[in-house]
Structure 1
Amino acid sequence: MTGIQARLLSLRVLRPSGIIEQICEETDEEVLPDRATLVRAARCLLGAITRVLLLADIVVVKQLLLAKDKVSHSLDRLESVNNFTEFVKAFSQFGAEMVELAHLTGDRQNDLKDERRRAQMAAARQVLERSTMMLLTSSKTCLRHPDCSSSRENRDTVFCQMRRAMDLIHFVVKDGVLNSSETSCRTTHGEELESDRGSAYACMRHLQHLLELNKVTMDHSCQETLPAALEAVLERTQDFTDSAYTSHEHREAILESSERLKTEVDHLLGLYANIIDFEGAINCPEVESSVSACINSARDLSRHLSNAGIQQAQELSTATKQGLELVSSIRQQALMSDIDRLHHTSNAFQDSIDHILEVCKLLRHVAVSETLQVSAKFTEINLRVYGPQVITAAKTLAAYPGSKIAQENLEVFADMYQWLVSDVTTIVKDVLEASQAKPEKQVYMSLPRPGKHGTTSKPLKAVRLDTEEQEKIAKSGLEMKLITSEMDAETDKWQESNTQVEENNDIVKRAKNMSAMAFSMYQFTKGEGVLKTTQDLFTQAEYFAEEANRLYKVIRQFSYQVPGGANKKELLENLDKVPTFVQRLQFTVKDHTVGKAATFTKVDNVIQETKNLMNVISKVVTTCFECATKFGIIMPQRLRVPCASLDGRPLPVQLIPQGFPKFNQFAYATLPR
């Protein structure tokens, strides 16, 4: 909004407001004001306020679309880089722009009133967030093994899905308007975006609504609308009857109910054709009886469809368990380059994916809320796309069994599969609860409920977070995750260029250790990972601060070897910030809290302080590597010293700073990880 536009709009608001105020001031208490003038001024005021709100919304939409375009351009740049150095720089910029987009889309999601649009925005944001780590590993693998077609397929798939997600954001923000010139990597994207409206449940409700409507307002249009609505219902029932996992009893019940419904509707249409032009046809008892028979048949069919979907959902645990076991086998066979067994296991894994996809499709049909319909649909899409990519990543590792990057890439795609299986399990639970007339609500179970008034010593219990609280913490977690990804990319670049010399580089190892701890804290913000309670989070933050202190000491010793100049000045400026951030994190962790609100605030503060510390550590590590490369300095090494204590027990791992001759007679014990 320009300054001129803002001033003009403010004048439009103030002018009628001033008129109303003047009328009220000038009118005597015993005399009613000029009603016509007052109404006219009120309408002008309402219109002006509406224009202000519309213009403000346009500004927000443009900001969001601009942020989305920035991320799109960064993706294009990431896809075109040919060396690791350029990739690290491009990924750093991409991370900053992703954080901005996450904030704007999160705010927009909370503002959306339409349940379906809100669920679509949540699905798009989840794809972008989860795909970030896969984008990092698949791109590194492709750069490391440029001639490998499977690694290129992994990377291209991730790029395609992220662009799909951004198209979906554009679609939701524009409320169903998709710029065809910007769409990519899809043939039926518009159909995928809106197909959640065509569930069996939605079509059945539409048919029943038409039957009730035509019962009251019988006209010629019913002879066209009812057959089309019936055809839509019968078309959806084929997904149930054609499924290989539908039991014989349920299939027969669905077919019988479908035929009965079709017969009842045909009979009703015949009655309409015979009596529609006669006076009093609406009150004909035969029509009322026929409509009631149609509605009862529709309800019977709906019940049988729901029973069939729920039965498959209840039996899903076998398929998901088998899939996770097959993923473990795929990992081992890829590491051993056992191509024949990998091919056989991959076929079994694809069958398991197909089974889960079938259940997702049926769950979408019987889900009673649009949120569940959208969630089931996009979980199905993501599983269909990313599930087979586990096999593709395994093929890359089988071709290069010694590649650490290829191994890491497989692990990340396997983690994505586990996330999607977890999503399916959650949807199954929610659909089952809704079918039992329980209130459908999206909840998270990652935070405990503090004891009553903070006075009890009983173990803390899990608490259900509302959307606003979860969103606030998740934003900070995403920022921390992106910083973690940037540091991982930097350390991996260093290891790639110095594989032989820097195998035991202590700075790299400690930085990766901190990165792993930060990532587990990020997972906590999503209700995932090994950290289950707030106490787990606070303990992890304490370990994180201690590891930062140890890394600070190692880098402080390293800085003694760096010649004076701009590089050393930059290194020391960032390094001197570390103790301050460590202390702030430690103080935040030790802060005593009482009550739910205080606990949420502490969790958010801990994530924020961890993110700040991680940010400065990332800058310090990057500067260290630049100095080591520029001045040819040997990085400190962590070596295992074969020594024992007096009683014969082994001592902890020892840290011997290499490249410091005057300190070589000392051994610095480090805490175990």
Structure 2
Amino acid sequence: MASECSLNQNSELLKNEPNLTDSNNNQKNNSNAFESYKIKTKSIENTLLPLVTQISTLINFKDNLKRLSQNGSNLCSERTAKALLKVGEVVHLAVERFVNVGESIAIENNCIKYEMLEACKEARNAGQSIRSQTQSPNSIVNILGVITTPTNAGSLFSNEKITMIQSANLLLNSVTKVLLLADVVIINQILNSKNKVLMSVNKLESCLDIYSFVSLFSQYGSDLIELAHLSGERQNDLKDEKKKSQMSSTRWILEKSTVMILSSFKAYLKHMECECAKENVSLVFSLLHQALDTLHYLIVDSGSFYDFDAPFYSSNYTSKFQLSFTNTLRQFEDSLELCTNNMLNEKNDQNVLFESLNKLIESTQDFTESLNVTQREQILNQQNEIRQKTLESIRPNTQNILKECDILKKILIIETLQLTNELFKKNQDAILLNSIKTYSLANQYDLLIETLDIFKEYSDHVLEICKMLRHVCALDVFEVTCEHHYTIFEILSKLIQSASGAVALYPQCNSTVENLNLYCDYWENQINDLSILVKEIQENFQGLKKSKNVYLSLPRPGKHGTNVRGINKIVNKLDSTERSKIAKLGLEMKLIQSEIDNEAAKWNEPHNEIVKLAKQMSEIAYEIHLFTRGEGSLKTTQDLFEHAEGFLTNGVLLFGIVKQFVEKIPNGYLKDELNLLLERLPFNFKQLKNKLKQTTIGKTATFNKVDYVIQDTRDFMNLIAKIVTNCFLCCTK
């Protein structure tokens, strides 16, 4: 019932615009409403691609016939008309087959039954609507807004054309919703598997004899294999690289925990009176519970229709890591840019900026509080410089502040790499681990305690370096890996200390000795992995300084893999899946662009600034749409990014003009609704700006940036369409 309630709440978000009084809550809820339709897995995206191709054929047919009419041809050929009839029928039949599968899933899963049947009904109606609109050649020509005679050449926004666009939108939305609801079933399956593992773990924790342990451990192993298989498939299906890295880290811990449980339990069952052995087992199980909670959170977060407050999906997961310096610096830069572009209310400008400044300063505490940092004074002085330049005026000088931030960032990077290199040069861990083993076996308690104290200081230093690396690394994948190393080193340090105590008490027991050796080996392997990570981070820093971006061109007929600007470089071509994914985004962009053009055409004031800017943004969106088809003036991804920058500039101008327009509107629900829409613009602005700032090297990274930039531009356009509509309503009333 909890899951049904959650899905009902999310489906309501899709249908209704939230009515909220608090602006912050409004932005958050609007963001959640959008998130409920966000596709987070590759499989759902790939399933949508064939349907997108067929709908693209229908929508793009209008543009082709427009060109024919401009060349003097009035109608399409009979062959083309028959092909269009076939496309409409193919879409209808494909939707029918798809809906039948969706309905069977709904019958088998009560938790999504109501929402799934509703979505299937919407999809079936949309499919039938598209088929009915392509029943005859004449209706096709009329529906798509085709110019049949020179006298009606301006009727590009006929009711029939709008109906086709609405049907296409409804079909895409309803089919997407069916797929996302079906994804809930997969998530339930993984969570049920995780719960089985959790039950096995709880039984193992209460085990007190070797015979029951063997049976329970065998069951635990079987359950864990099933969970590893399901979670592995989910990991490979995720689009977000950071989430994939987090899930990979969590699955690694679950895999290693099997050996840890076996080793620690053998020592504990032989010496149940030993507090050190008991503590060792407790530490292993605490690590296992933490990994299961993290996996639970990641699996739930990989879906699109889950409410985290639902009791059935409650989790104890809490992140132990605060925002890194790199992330807080990005937020601070965003706040500066919003203030510079007047995209925040004047009353809130300073509050937002000061809050992000305080977070930036707080993120450097791991450096300023460390006794090993040699440039502590320089860091504190640089903090004061940034604070003074930020507080010196209401509209601070952005360039000067960013320059000071860059200096601070360089100091932190240099300090971190110096400490890391010194750590590896000393090779202190090998000496300490050998001493711990020797003193434990020889029952030399005083020397063992002294060595463990030194090892504790050393492990704290390693943890400190992991946190510093996490603060300065530029990529999310590196940040997740640093967090993984921190977690493993933290638990291994405690495990080695407790295991050595058990060996000191029972040096003749093979189980206790093997247990200590296992954790020492894990520590050495982890140090080696950390050294590899540091090398990759250093190479990344050097690459950011020395390498230039490799921009890719989307394939175009007759120009595959060539740069049209005459640079003699072979550019990697996109595969069919990537081309289809971009085509889907292009279609969505085209639908929203048509909607904005339609809204702008309603105004009787062609020189109105709102209308002019909306049309300019619509033209930019259309160029991006052509880019996804390998056409138009945008030839490379660099052209696309520069075009998106222009889109942002127009968005800032539109924000200022609409803001002035709102001040002249009498109080009422229309003004309130327009204000709520305006408050969402800075969020979209920041999101797109962050994507454009990202530096990419290589084909995959560049394609992902193109993908995200087009997605964020599409979402920005969707919001602009609503703003233009509301402005028109305010003018008419």
User: Shorter-normalised TM-score: what interval?
Assistant: 0.5 to 0.7
Aligned to 2:490: 384
More displaced 10-residue stretch of structure 1: 28-37 or 46-55: 28-37
Would you say 1:120 and 2:230 are equivalent positions? no
Report deviation, 1:228: 1.8
Residue of 190, 213, 234 corresponding to 2:318: 190
Report deviation, 1:209: 2.0
Report if the CA contact (8 A) 1:333-1:339 is conserved: yes
Report deviation, 1:141: 1.2
Amino acid at match of 2:381: E
Determine the C-alpha separation between the residues in 1 that align with 2:440 and 2:418. 35
Aligned to 2:134: 24
Aligned to 1:352: 458
**Aligned pairs (5 A) from 1:375-454:** 375-437=481-543
Aligned to 1:130: 256
Alignment CA distance shift 1:128-1:409 (3 Å): same
Aligned to 2:369: 242
Would you say 1:316 and 2:316 are equivalent positions? no
Determine the C-alpha separation between the residues in 1 that align with 2:389 and 2:308. 39
Aligned to 2:401: 294
Report deviation, 1:317: 0.2
Residue of 338, 343, 352 corresponding to 1:225: 352
**Aligned pairs (5 A) from 1:526-537:** none
Would you say 1:264 and 2:393 are equivalent positions? no
Q: TM-score, normalised by structure 1?
A: 0.57
Report deviation, 1:102: 1.0
Alignment CA distance shift 1:202-1:9 (3 Å): closer
Amino acid at match of 1:216: N
**Aligned pairs (5 A) from 1:155-234:** 155-175=281-301, 177=308, 190-192=318-320, 195-196=321-322, 198-217=323-342, 219-234=346-361
Would you say 1:96 and 2:222 are equivalent positions? yes
Aligned to 1:576: none
More displaced 10-residue stretch of structure 1: 381-390 or 11-20: 11-20
Determine the C-alpha separation between the residues in 1 that align with 2:471 and 2:447. 37
**Aligned pairs (5 A) from 1:612-627:** none
Amino acid at match of 1:409: N
Report if the CA contact (8 A) 2:429-2:524 is conserved: no
Q: Residue 372 of structure 2: SS of its match in structure 1? A: coil
Higher RCO (C-alpha 8 Å, min separation 6): 2
Report deviation, 1:255: 2.2
Alignment CA distance shift 1:438-1:105 (3 Å): farther
Report if the CA contact (8 A) 1:316-1:359 is conserved: no
Report if the CA contact (8 A) 1:146-1:152 is conserved: yes
Report if the CA contact (8 A) 2:120-2:175 is conserved: no
Q: Residue 363 of structure 2: SS of its match in structure 1? A: helix
Alignment CA distance shift 1:425-1:152 (3 Å): same
Aligned to 1:255: 380
Aligned to 1:469: none
Report deviation, 1:28: 4.1
Determine the C-alpha separation between the residues in 2 that align with 1:422 and 1:233. 31
Report if the CA contact (8 A) 2:133-2:139 is conserved: no
Report deviation, 1:155: 0.6
Determine the C-alpha separation between the residues in 2 that align with 1:37 and 1:238. 58
Structure 1 alignment gaps of length 5 or more: 273-286, 441-673
Deviations 1:593-628 (A, max 9, x none): xxxxxxxxxxxxxxxxxxxxxxxxxxxxxxxxxxxx
Report if the CA contact (8 A) 2:133-2:140 is conserved: no
Report deviation, 1:177: 3.6
Residue of 468, 477, 500 corresponding to 1:362: 468
Determine the C-alpha separation between the residues in 1 that align with 2:312 and 2:265. 26
Amino acid at match of 1:240: F
Alignment CA distance shift 1:263-1:12 (3 Å): closer
Number of aligned residue pairs: 413
Aligned to 1:517: none
Report deviation, 1:178: 7.6
Alignment CA distance shift 1:126-1:328 (3 Å): same
More displaced 10-residue stretch of structure 1: 362-371 or 46-55: 46-55
Deviations 1:425-445 (A, max 9, x none): 2321222122213599xxxxx
Alignment CA distance shift 1:255-1:147 (3 Å): same
Deviations 1:175-230 (A, max 9, x none): 2948899989x8xx5241xx25x111111222122222212217232221222222
Report if the CA contact (8 A) 1:357-1:384 is conserved: yes
Amino acid at match of 1:266: L
Aligned to 2:631: none
Amino acid at match of 1:227: F
More displaced 10-residue stretch of structure 1: 233-242 or 159-168: 233-242
Report deviation, 1:376: 1.1
Q: TM-score, normalised by structure 2?
A: 0.53
Determine the C-alpha separation between the residues in 1 that align with 2:119 and 2:484. 41
Report deviation, 1:395: 1.2
Q: Residue 245 of structure 1: SS of its match in structure 2? A: coil
Report deviation, 1:399: 1.1
Aligned to 2:618: none
Report deviation, 1:12: 5.2
Determine the C-alpha separation between the residues in 1 that align with 2:214 and 2:409. 54
Alignment CA distance shift 1:183-1:140 (3 Å): farther
Residue of 439, 447, 462 corresponding to 1:333: 439
Deviations 1:75-107 (A, max 9, x none): 011111221111111111111111111112112
Alignment CA distance shift 1:26-1:373 (3 Å): same
Report deviation, 1:59: 0.8
Amino acid at match of 1:292: Q
**Same amino acid, percent of matched pairs:** 30
Report deviation, 1:237: 2.3
Alignment CA distance shift 1:87-1:119 (3 Å): same
Amino acid at match of 1:223: Q
Report if the CA contact (8 A) 1:433-1:439 is conserved: no
Q: Residue 318 of structure 2: SS of its match in structure 1? A: helix
Report deviation, 1:37: 4.8
Alignment CA distance shift 1:438-1:411 (3 Å): farther
Structure 2 alignment gaps of length 5 or more: 1-104, 144-159, 302-306, 547-733
Report deviation, 1:114: 2.9
Report deviation, 1:335: 2.0
Report deviation, 1:316: 2.1
Aligned to 2:712: none
Determine the C-alpha separation between the residues in 2 that align with 1:150 and 1:183. 33
Amino acid at match of 1:300: I
